[in-house]
Amino acid sequence: MSEQPAEFSMPTPGGFQDPERSGLSADDLFAGITEHLFFTLGKLAPSATRHDLYMALSYAVRDRLMTRYLAGKEALNEHPAKSVAYLSAEFLIGPQLGNNLLMLGIEKEAAEALHRFNGTTLDDVREVEEEPGLGNGGLGRLAACYMESLASLEVPAVGYGIRYEFGIFDQLIRDGWQVEITDKWLKGGWPWELTHPDQAVFVGFGGRTEGYTDEHGRYRSRWIPAEHAIGIPHDIPVLGYKVNTCDRLRLWRATATESFDFYAFNIGDYYGAVEEKVGSETLSKVLYPNDGTDEGRRLRLKQQHFFVSCSLQDMLRNLEQRKIPVTEFPQHWAVQLNDTHPAIAVAELMRLLIDDKNLDWDLAWDITSRSLAYTNHTLLPEALEKWGLPLFSSLLPRHLELIFEINRRFLQQVRLKHPGDDAILRKLSIIDEEGQKAVRMAHLATVGSHHVNGVAKLHSDLVKSSLMPEFAQLWPEKFTNVTNGVTPRRWMGLCNPQLRGLLDEVIGQNWLHNLDELKQLERFQDDSGFLERWDQTKLESKRQLASYIHRHTSVLVDPASLFDVQVKRIHEYKRQHLNALQVIAQYLRIKNGQGDGLAPRTVIFGGKAAPGYYMAKLIIRFINGIAETVNSDPDMDGRLRVVFLPDYNVKLGERVYPASDLSEQISTAGKEASGTGNMKFAMNGALTVGTLDGANVEIREQVGAENFFLFGKTTPEIEALRKSGYRPWELLEELPELQDVLHLVEQGHFSNGDTELFRPLVDNLRGQDPFFVFADFEAYLKAQDEVSSAWANRQHWNRMSLLNSARTGYFSSDRSVREYCDGIWKASAVPVKVTCQSNP
């Protein structure tokens, strides 16, 4: 990735330089905390609570970000370069304080400053920080990792999304069931954002279109929306690691064009007086409204159009302010569509260019198709969004006109290559003609983008061979792969201070800049003294997690046991129920006196089920039923414990990954696009038991097959089973251990005698088993036996653990972002020099 040197010298005092707010010493931070307690929060230090100290320290740290944030904007103005616009419905950014302290390199200074306030620790303050629930899982966390890597690689970038007032729900467990409560992450104030009402934009919905002839005699269409909303941007600084580049996350909040109708109020219609305000603000109220209803689907499509339109208008305005012609849009903005949620960008950018900027079709299409790129994140057909034409036309009539024209022109190209082949036209058409006609958003994104990428080698191959084979044959040069990555700064440096300290000592501190330097660890693989130190860092993390588990679930676990962990969104294809069934098998072996050689285990689950996904919620109840039975059985003491961690999120993940010995990556082959949790586990020295699915394939290649517990049928074998007519009830007859497990479940052993509670789960497995749990059960048990055998030789286990960490440099998000920059975005680094203050 090439660099374009750009220096920005800070102005003399009187500009935006303030030395008192840019100093990085403990004294400077203490002064900043004291100042914000008094002037921002109206508190005196002796009466300050931990939350007050969190807010004051956060404001003081944000002050230090502003110098770099503004310098970066000026550098881009002075040296125009291509910026990346990352459009995503989710940004699961996690807690910000610890991460920004790490980026600035001032964790020790902050800890010292806080200690002056009655001995307050940094952990005390970080504990009270609310996590913005602006994402559902891997998609949003990936977007956050990429934004951090873009800044650390000094690439100008803006992440565009929605500032949800209520994010992903908080999860409680009551009587074993998931209960969803509102995520009020803003209730205590959030110090990391900058609001810019002066940069608000208007977004239209509904209404009608009408044709007219312009002054040049050309026929045009005009959209007359029935309603508008205003998008107000909230910017979150995203600082790179020990560099001066500070990019931003720009999240849009919706508000009404008119907040209060005095006439309605005066005639007694009190709801009507605020109806427009309530309706508009609903757009940014909640992450992923339930799309099981017509109104829910309507709101979700409105959300997508809202943030995409706001973002594209913002980019065009940026060019206008810098006096750059709109025809140069592709030279200045690389727009990445993170899954299909922002796919409406194809039609919206065309609308803005044709209707607002008065460009002709061919020029507008050239700009659009050279600016947009699309990342596919799923192989599940039901997850590829489609919007029925009645809904689409009522909400976005002008966009539907444009999509029809895009589709007409596209299908004409297809006819030239495949004359007389109506079948391929039906497969490729943006409009699904089967049943109720619908707009296929993945098709729209593919047609309108210059690149389409998958997120792991296997996934990208399957996108070309199974999901979109006709598109791949039509445009083979358009399809590529960029395997996902995760940031080592948060997922090793921040969350695993014990490991970071050891690594800094033995290989130096540059590994957080260049994760490939972890390869130096390989020279210690036969050093028994070092392997013992490696084991002790893991044990310390396990003690901390054991303490957390006891505080939050009242379950006592042994840190010396094998911590066997599966934390991720609850879904049948991720097969938490396969894991649960093998736990019962281990339980039965111990009860029947056949537990010799089994490793003492603490099996840890965590994750949220979509509120409307009954089977996933039943799996959570199943796990908790098993936990209740196992943990109350004296025969299991010292042998087996089962824990379900409620409300799994980024903050909890920072505790879990460093403490894990075994990573469960057991999805059905061909279903997981990539996975990123698998990478975080491996970086922190956990061994993987997994299928050849998603990025597991590449993890195994990197760490070595001998350091990976492989099991299960491959993608071709799963497909062959499906085509041959898979009969799980027949397979069950050949699996006596699984029969015993299911018999115990059906007897009500894990449901207090209720024989009906888990019947839907068992019947689904016996009758259909859509994700081939039975087909992989025996191989999975065998792999778990191999895990127990390996655990018995702790020096060998520690060696395998060390090599997993040493060989995960490839899975840094820095590598992923470099590949995007070089192969898709054609974006370069723009280093920013701030002369008034350097990083420590």
Q: How many CB atoms lie within 10 A of CB 505?
A: 10
For residues 602 and 562, the answer to whether their CB atoms sit within 8 Å is yes
**Which two three-digit tokens encode residue 712?**
């299960």
Active site residue 568: yes
Active site residue 43: no
336 phi, psi to nearest 5 deg = -105, 125
Which residues touch 653 (CB under 8 Å, ≥6 apart)?
A: 495, 567, 677, 680
Residue 435: is it exposed, middle or buried by C-beta count within 10 angstroms (0-12/13-18/19+)? exposed
Q: What is the DSSP letter of 84?
A: E
| Residue reference for tokens 């940014």 | 284
SS3 category, 3:
strand
Which residues touch 241 (CB under 8 Å, ≥6 apart)?
A: 102, 103, 148, 151, 152, 489, 512, 513
Q: Which of 64, 250, 332, 569 is catalytic?
A: 569
Active site residue 357: no
**CA separation for the pair 248, 234 (Å, rounded):** 10
Q: Which amino acid is at 163?
A: R
Q: Which amino acid is at 617?
A: K
Q: Which amino acid is at 84?
A: V
Active site residue 569: yes
Active site residue 680: yes
**CA separation for the pair 696, 686 (Å, rounded):** 13
Q: How many CB atoms lie within 10 A of CB 357?
A: 17
For residues 322 and 81, the answer to whether their CB atoms sit within 8 Å is no
SS3 category, 838:
coil
**Which two three-digit tokens encode residue 409?**
């022109």
**Which two three-digit tokens encode residue 400?**
């539907």
For residues 369 and 405, the answer to whether their CB atoms sit within 8 Å is no
Q: Which of 68, 377, 399, 538 is catalytic?
A: 377
SS3 category, 511:
helix
Active site residue 478: no
For strands 201-205 and 227-239, give the pairing: antiparallel
Q: Which of 248, 617, 680, 807 is catalytic?
A: 680
Q: Which of 34, 67, 446, 676 is catalytic?
A: 676
Which residues touch 490 (CB under 8 Å, ≥6 apart)?
A: 94, 99, 102, 145, 148, 654
Q: Which of 574, 577, 617, 621 is catalytic?
A: 574
**CA separation for the pair 41, 496 (Å, rounded):** 32
For residues 286 and 166, the answer to whether their CB atoms sit within 8 Å is yes
| Residue reference for tokens 């080698």 | 457
SS3 category, 502:
helix
Q: Which of 624, 627, 619, 674 is nearest to 810 (CA)?
A: 674
**CA separation for the pair 791, 104 (Å, rounded):** 39
| Residue reference for tokens 């803006």 | 158
**CA separation for the pair 99, 768 (Å, rounded):** 45
Q: What is the DSSP letter of 285?
A: T
* Active-site annotation, residues: 377, 568-569, 574, 676, 680
